[in-house]
Every structure is written in C-alpha cells, then in structure tokens.
Structure 1
Amino acid sequence: MIVFRYLSREVLLTLSAVSAVLLVFIMSGRFIKYLAQAASGALDPGVLFLIMGFRLPGFLQVILPLGLFLGILMAYGRLYLESEMTVLAATGMSQQRLLAIT
C-alpha cells in the first residue's frame, strides 16, 4: 500500500503539472483566435471568457489522457533515474505488479 500511495502521488503530481501547462498553451492559442474575432467585430467581447469556459471541458477531454500518459512516463523515468526501481525490484516487486498498481 505504501508503494501504491507513493506511485499515485508521483503520477498525480506530474499529471497535474503537465495538464496545467498543456491547458495554458491550448487555451491561450484559442483565446488569441477569439480575441482576433472580437477585434474584427465578428464576436462580442463580453462573451470571450464565457466561450472559453464552455470550451474548457472539451479541452480537458483531449488534454487529460495525454497528461496521464506523460505523467506515468515521467514518474517512471524519475524512478529509474533515482534508482528507486532497482530498490523495488530488489524487494520483490515485479514489473507487472508495478504496472497493475499504476
């Protein structure tokens, strides 16, 4: 259970960071497009943030799976880099069990 909590914390922290960065990039790009439409008069400037709020679930639907994949990849990379995977293997934790936990 301790290993599960440790791996979960590592993956969730990395997932949060990666997802936040990706969300900022995607939202800022979309906001620039909407701002250009508002400047040309095709869109009311008062509804810019409302439209961004309505588009947020769609963005998260794309970002979260990618963030989870990158979070697991980076967490495992850090475990290998700091030789924690070697310690887990020496204590009898198999790769398949770690994969099932993650």
Structure 2
Amino acid sequence: MTELEKLKKITGEKDEALLQILMEDAEQFVLSYTGRTILVGGLTKAVRDLAVIALNRLGTEGESGRSEAGESYSFSEVPRQVYDELNRYRLARVGGTRFENEKK
C-alpha cells in the first residue's frame, strides 16, 4: 500500500490531489527540519502524521482556539511525539557541514 493510499484510508479524504500536496509539503518540512536531502524509511510515518495534521487544520490556519455553540476547541502546535521522531533522524553539523549517507 502506498503512503497516499494509507493517508486516504486514515483520513477518509477522497481528493488525491489535495492529499498529494499535503504529503509533499510535509516531506519538505521533514527534510528541512532534519537537514537531510533524502527521506529515510523511519521518517515516512512522521510525514504521514504531519499531512494528517495539516488536513485537519485546513480552514483554521492561524487560530489557537475557537468556541462555538457552547463547545470550545483549542489547537496545539505539532505534537511533541512527532518532533521526538524527527529529532532521532536530525543531522548534526560538523565544521558547518552535514554528512549524510547516500543510498546506493
């Protein structure tokens, strides 16, 4: 099963183009945060989690909370568990350079 199919199954969203955009944005965020140029296997779940979060937040960008009809909703930043996962794969800089093993 592809990551896009998994995301469709998890969210119930039918718009594949939207899901693809969210996956690509999440992947770029993960690569930027970790300092990597290629996505290693352990990061695919983090990408999927970030895409789900982005989908759930569509239309509420910039809000920290909302109250409607007696119900209150609050939005937190990305869950700590996602950052914990990303931090395991973050590359350190040595002399201003990052060294990444390339897949062969």
User: How would you bin the TM-score normalised by the shorter chain?
Assistant: 0.3 to 0.5
Q: Which has the higher contact order (CA 8 A, sep 6+)?
A: 1
Which TM-score applies when normalising by structure 2?
0.36
